[in-house]
Amino acid sequence: MNVDINNIGALIRDERIRRGLTQEELGTKVGVGKAQISKIESGKGLTIKTVTKVLEALNMSATIRLVASRKADKRTIGYVIAVISEFAKAYNMTIREASNYLSRYKGVDFLTEHYEAEHLLSMDDSVQDLARVCYNNGGGVL
């Protein structure tokens, strides 16, 4: 299962609850107080050391996948801007609203990550793909 680093706290909380443990009980297993477990579950105070201790206490493990980041070139940036503009028109938004929406619901990430395939599609198909990606990530437009 791939879990975004920002969701580790929620994953830990869900597993603790699934196992019927209170924050205090998990804290005792880890060697920290209830307040520290609460902080970890809210995504704060996460260090490799604390996450490792908590995962061990829950009998879980994690792996980290490192990927090279790809800088967007001028073609990709131009394409993303054009698709944002078309998305704004299709859903009766300002360009700023569309840009904020697409950033929040991972549409821009999708476009830059899948540029090589998406730029070969029609603008309408790309806009539909974006709507689906954003919907799948909690957005309301579809």
Are 81 and 47 members of one domain?
no
pTM of the model: 0.51
What pLDDT band is residue 1 in, cutting at 50, 70 and 90? low
CATH number at residue 22: 1.10.260.40
Residue 65 lies in a domain: no
Q: Tokens 């009766």 identify what position?
A: 92
Query: What are the structure tokens assigned to 119, written together?
Result: 């730029």
Question: What's the alpha-carbon Rg for the chain, to the nearest Å?
Answer: 20
Query: What are the structure tokens assigned to 34, written together?
Result: 């209830």
Domains contained in the chain, number? 2
Share of the chain above pLDDT 70, in %: 89
In this predicted structure, the answer to whether residue 142 has a pLDDT above a threshold of 70 is: no
Torsion sign across C-alpha atoms 65, 32, 35, 56: positive
The helix/strand count (H/E) of the chain reads as 9, 0
Residue 69 lies in a domain: no
Residues 119-130: tens digit of each pLDDT: 899 999 999 999
Residues 16-37: tens digit of each pLDDT: 999 999 999 999 998 888 998 9
Are 81 and 132 members of one domain?
yes
